Amino acid sequence: MEEKARIVVWNEFRHEKEHEAVKKVYPDGMHTVIASGLKKLGGVEVKTATLDEPEHGLTENVLKNTDVLIWWGHCAHGEVKDEIVKRVQKRVLEGMGLIVLHSGHFSKIFKVLMGTNCSLKWREAAEKERLWNLEPSHPITGGIGEYIELPNTEMYGERFDIPTPDELIFVSWFEGGEVFRSGCCWKRGHGKIFYFRPGHETYPIFYNEQIIRVIWNACLWAKPSVFIEDKCPNINNPLEKLSAKNLNFGKAGILQNS
């Protein structure tokens, strides 16, 4: 039997403590709702981590035992320590999956992995959103159907300043007329990255079964089969026998006339 995917749901966990409206929707934080939704679908081991824990809950040991990291942040992107961002980046390059949700588009980790501004248009007006499933045969859209409809969402509109995705999975349409690339896949090093747009803190979006299904599908898709530590070795013992010219070059460091 295949081993369970080891998931960590990371949440900044500030809005839920500071704003009554958010606390009402997510009394124990969005991370706990996402975690319990994923657990219900099975096949995963799920832990959570938050910004205010030591090392933001993302110690070397935690990351070493994580297959897929889910990231939600918004008002405190700047408080995430650069050292931890580097650590997460390194682990993604080695193979760890990363799922970035909603306002995580402006997180340090997403920006560093994309290399662009990751800016977009936005509007808070409880608009209807329809996420069109562009890739019904992709593992991330398994069991989703033609589209997902959310009655009340924050609008995100193009242009979303990202590198062209390796695979575009969802496009959103909003009541006000904008469209947005809502589900995007990239590979960085050995790691798979999925950006998924829904998840504004004042709407109960992470209780939606289709939304959790997409995140769960993405976890299984992004789970690495192997972790590969990148090195930059000097190979002095090639597989094939080298000629005298090559060996002389090796000694002198310059190409001899001969």
∠ Cα 129 135 138 (to 5°): 120
Can you tell me the distance from the alpha carbon of 200 to that of 206, in angstroms, rounded to the nearest whole number? 9
- 73 or 224: CB nearest Zn ion: 73
Q: Which residue has the tokens 């090796």?
A: 250
Interactions with Zn ion, residue window 211-230 (CB under 5 A) = none
8 A C-beta contact, residue 105 and residue 195 = yes
192 versus 200: smaller Cβ distance to Zn ion: 200
Q: Which residue is nearest to Zn ion (CB)?
A: 200
Output the CA–CA distances (angstroms, integers) from residue 164 to 30, 108, 174, 183, 184, in the order listed. Answer: 29, 19, 21, 12, 9
Helix axes 209-222, 30-41, angle to 10 degrees: 70
Which has the closest alpha carbon to 110: 60, 35, 161, 67? 161
CB 113 to Zn ion: min, Å = 20
**Binds Zn ion (CB under 5 A): choice among 103, 107, 133, 153:** 103
Going residue by residue from 171 to 200, which x/- string records binding to Zn ion, judged by CB under 5 A?
-----------------------------x
Q: How far is the CB of 192 from Zn ion (least distance, A)?
A: 24
Looking at 41-49, 101-109, 133-141, 238-246, which segment touches Zn ion (CB under 5 A)? 101-109
* Nearer to Zn ion among residue 117 and residue 256 (C-beta): 117
Indicate whether 94 belongs to the interface with Zn ion (CB under 5 A). Answer: no
For Zn ion (CB under 5 A), the number of binding residues is: 3
Our CB check for Zn ion shows the closer of 169 and 205 to be 205
Minimum CB separation of residue 26 from Zn ion in Å reads 13
Give the tokens for residue 18.
């500071």
Looking at the Cβ atoms of 50 and 89, the one nearer to Zn ion is 50
Give me the least distance between CB of 5 and Zn ion, in Å please. Answer: 27
Per-residue mark of binding to Zn ion, 139-168 (x: CB under 5 A): ---------------x--------------
Residues 6+ apart with CB under 8 A from 168: 134, 135, 181, 183, 184, 185
Q: Residue 143 has what DSSP assignment?
A: T
Beta strands in the chain (DSSP E): 5-11, 44-50, 68-72, 97-101, 121-133, 147-157, 167-174, 179-188, 191-196
Q: Pick between residue 74 and residue 87 the one whose CB is nearest to Zn ion.
A: 74
CB of 78 to Zn ion, least distance (A): 17
By beta-carbon proximity to Zn ion, the closer residue of 37 and 104 is: 104
Applying CB under 5 A, which residues contact Zn ion? 103, 154, 200
